[in-house]
């Protein structure tokens, strides 16, 4: 189903204090990130989405990565319980906004869940059990959203969608390390080379796939699979270990 709305939140003045082990993290620029975020939002609007733009949150350096705060499915939302203490509280304003449109419920302790781990397929969800999401969080999500959730356990990753994203139909983009995972069985896999690993995170709206700029081989592979490709510069967000899907909640 093509989404109608996108919740977005621009980078704050504290953006450069984001949680990140990226070697260029100390060069992250809030000013440049705001420009890249503006171009991202313009693209979403041009693709027909109604933008629900929240205020920047200086108290939360990572708060522009709004995807992590909630998962929407079956016209309901589960509100995240963030694993990183510095991010706990980002979800409050998102809960208030989503609650104006659909029923919401929070993940309760000891569960943790972040939306960057959750992949939406036509018949089910796939969720990473990772550094940020635990089994209890996945169970609570499945129960409230009334959907089957297949778990992909990998304690070494932050979020699954940095490695695997769904395009449409039976097509998935993923890194080689996930190509043989049983949760992806039956799908056509467009494999991302290790030297273009960041391109594994894509955002599909209709037949358009938004991709990070600078990864020509992966962009060509996606284009040859029949999609219109739009490449955006999100290099400042990469420094904060965020990507395209992280910047919005679509519903």
246 is annotated as an active-site residue:
yes
Residue 41 a catalytic site member? no
Of 37, 73, 159, 163, which residue is the catalytic one?
A: 159
Structure tokens at 65: 């990565």
Question: Which positions are annotated as active-site residues?
Answer: 159, 246
């Amino acid at each position: 189903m093509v989404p109608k709305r996108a919740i977005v939140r621009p980078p704050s003045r504290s953006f450069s204090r984001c949680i990140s082990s990226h070697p260029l993290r100390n060069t992250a620029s809030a000013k440049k990130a705001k420009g890249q975020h503006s171009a991202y939002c313009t693209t979403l609007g041009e693709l027909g989405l109604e933008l629900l733009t929240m205020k920047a949150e200086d108290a939360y350096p990572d708060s522009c990565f709004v995807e992590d705060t909630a998962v929407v499915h079956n016209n309901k939302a589960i509100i995240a319980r963030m694993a990183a203490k510095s991010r706990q509280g980002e979800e409050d304003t998102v809960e208030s906004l989503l609650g104006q449109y659909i029923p919401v419920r929070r993940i309760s302790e000891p569960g943790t869940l972040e939306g960057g781990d959750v992949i939406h397929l036509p018949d089910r969800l796939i969720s990473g059990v990772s550094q940020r999401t635990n089994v209890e969080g996945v169970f609570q999500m499945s129960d409230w959203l009334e959907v089957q959730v297949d778990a992909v356990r990998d304690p070494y990753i932050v979020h699954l969608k940095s490695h695997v994203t769904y395009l449409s139909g039976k097509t998935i983009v993923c890194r080689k390390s996930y190509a043989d995972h049983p949760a992806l069985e039956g799908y056509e896999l467009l494999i991302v080379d290790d030297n273009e690993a960041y391109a594994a995170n894509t955002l599909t709206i209709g037949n358009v796939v938004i991709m990070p700029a600078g990864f020509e081989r992966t962009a060509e592979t996606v284009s040859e699979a029949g999609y219109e490709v739009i490449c955006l510069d999100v290099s400042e967000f990469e420094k904060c270990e965020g990507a395209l899907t992280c910047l919005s909640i679509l519903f």
